[in-house]
Structure 1
Amino acid sequence: MATDVKATQKTDVKAIKQEVKELFGLVPTWVNEMPDSALGGFWSLMRDFQLAETRIPNKYKELIGLAVSGATRCRYCTLFHTEAARLFGATDDEIAEASMMAAHTMGASTFLNAQQVDYEQFRNETLQAIAYARQQQQGQAGTTPRPNVDTTAHA
């Protein structure tokens, strides 16, 4: 029985690598280095979630991936997600904003954790602040929307 399972795995791995090649034009070296037992799950998630059309547009998923990659300091993922974000239409400005959002979040997280801010107090204050902001938005719902103001200096 173990032989049958192993034969099936080899067939699946071959089919997976063919799918990868069809999508990317090659099978990257790191894919060939991945253990056969992990490749199926990894590829399924990449193909059916990361690269597929889901509720979150692909551009946004790749910008999220870029932000996480920057925070975890993975240059491999940073390169992949930057180029994939561009493939899905992200501009250099959007890429820079995603990177800055990651930096801002990491900075705030570092401060809050290092200061050992009380989580329950933080939670309560956050929910209170969001409820207030939501109430302000709803109060303005019947008014004329405020235009986006360009704060950059005009030449």
Structure 2
Amino acid sequence: MASEDTRQEIEETLGQVPSWMETIADPAIEHSWGLFRDLTFGENELSAREKGLIGVGVAAAIGCPYCTYFHKEEARLADVGEAELEEAVNLASSTRYFSTILHGNEIDLEEFESETDEMVDYLEQGEVAADD
């Protein structure tokens, strides 16, 4: 059970204390609320739009219907459109797909990093040439 101060803060922030938060074990509730509050609603490096889109992508990739619903609604609050939500899910799908190929085929990480660095250099050079 959260302290009265924490319960009040949750209610002031969310309009209620969600039932799922009631299931968090006593030793973890204060910390869990702090993480949720600070990462979801805090003024950090990422905008609300970016946080929502990342949340949607991760939720889709891990197959969590709870997180998918929450983060889609979070993103919509930040004026993310349906096409952007679909693209975030597709990007997450693509990342998971290629991760499966890389892991399943046990691709050498050092070689992968070296090739990626070369591709980034090539792409950056193309951007410089296009700017000229």
Unaligned runs of 5+ in 2: none
Q: Aligned pairs, how many?
A: 132
Please say if 1:83 is aligned against 2:73: yes
Select which of 113, 117, 121 maps to 1:131.
121
> C-alpha distance in 2, partners of 1:95/1:141?
31
Select which of 28, 36, 43 maps to 1:38.
28
Deviations 1:36-93 (A, max 9, x none): 2111111112212221222110111111111111111111111111111111111111
Select which of 104, 129, 137 maps to 2:94.
104
Please say if 1:56 is aligned against 2:46: yes
* Amino acid across the alignment from 1:121: E
- The CA deviation at 1:137 is 0.7
> C-alpha distance in 2, partners of 1:79/1:48?
20
> C-alpha distance in 1, partners of 2:105/2:62?
21
Instruction: Report the 3-state secondary structure (helix = DSSP H, G, I; strand = E; otherwise coil) of the residue aligned with 1:140.
Output: helix
- What's 1:20 paired with? 10
Bigger Rg, structure 1 or 2? 1
Task: Choose between structure 1 and 2: higher helix proportion.
Answer: 2
Q: State the TM-score, normalized to the length of structure 2.
A: 0.93
